[in-house]
């Protein structure tokens, strides 16, 4: 049975809008995933200690037949295809970042994935994107 997931896209290097557009296209590739809705693209200041350019961010609602870890692997392949370099500092500049913010009602935490995303309460632009798409930013356990 397909599941609804919310993915946050971000880019602050190169053709930021182009990277977001290509990510949307790659995520809209049935049968694995289908983009149901997309929030407005928003420019935001970077988070973290590294000086870097502003980000373009967007929240997507996707329908997916992939399990959470399969979806993570899929998003990481899309990031790699966009030239994402993971060797830099945490929260550093990047061509493309795709975070799984929520995956249905799933709650999990292991070495590679935590759902809902632990940074959700601290990312106002994610919360705005979720509200725009008609979703709650409230963690499952807090409802």
Q: Which domains does the chain have, with CATH numbers?
A: 3-142 (3.30.70.560)
Q: Is the pLDDT of residue 22 over 50?
A: yes
- In the block, which residue shows the tokens 């963690």? 139
Active site residues: 84, 94, 97, 99
Confidence label for 12 from pLDDT (cuts 50, 70 and 90) = very high
* Distance in angstroms (rounded) separating the CA atoms of residues 101 and 50: 23
Model pTM?
0.90
Strand stretches in 3-137, DSSP E: 3-11, 33-38, 42-44, 55-64, 97-103, 108-109, 114-115
Q: What is the pLDDT of residues 108-143, one digit of tens each?
A: 999 999 999 999 999 999 999 999 998 865 444 333
């Amino acid at each position: 049975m397909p599941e609804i997931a919310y993915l946050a896209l971000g880019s602050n290097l190169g053709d930021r809008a182009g990277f977001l557009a290509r990510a949307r296209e790659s995520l809209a590739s049935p049968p694995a995933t289908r983009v149901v809705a997309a929030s407005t693209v928003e420019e935001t200041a970077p988070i973290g200690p590294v000086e870097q350019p502003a980000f373009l961010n967007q929240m997507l609602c996707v329908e997916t037949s992939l399990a959470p870890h399969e979806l993570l692997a899929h998003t990481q392949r899309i990031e790699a295809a966009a030239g994402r370099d993971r060797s830099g500092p945490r929260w550093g500049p990047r061509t493309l970042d795709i975070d799984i913010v929520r995956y249905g009602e799933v709650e999990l935490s292991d070495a590679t994935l935590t759902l809902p995303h632990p940074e959700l309460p601290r990312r106002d632009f994610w919360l705005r994107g979720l509200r725009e798409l008609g979703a709650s930013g409230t963690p499952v356990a807090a409802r």
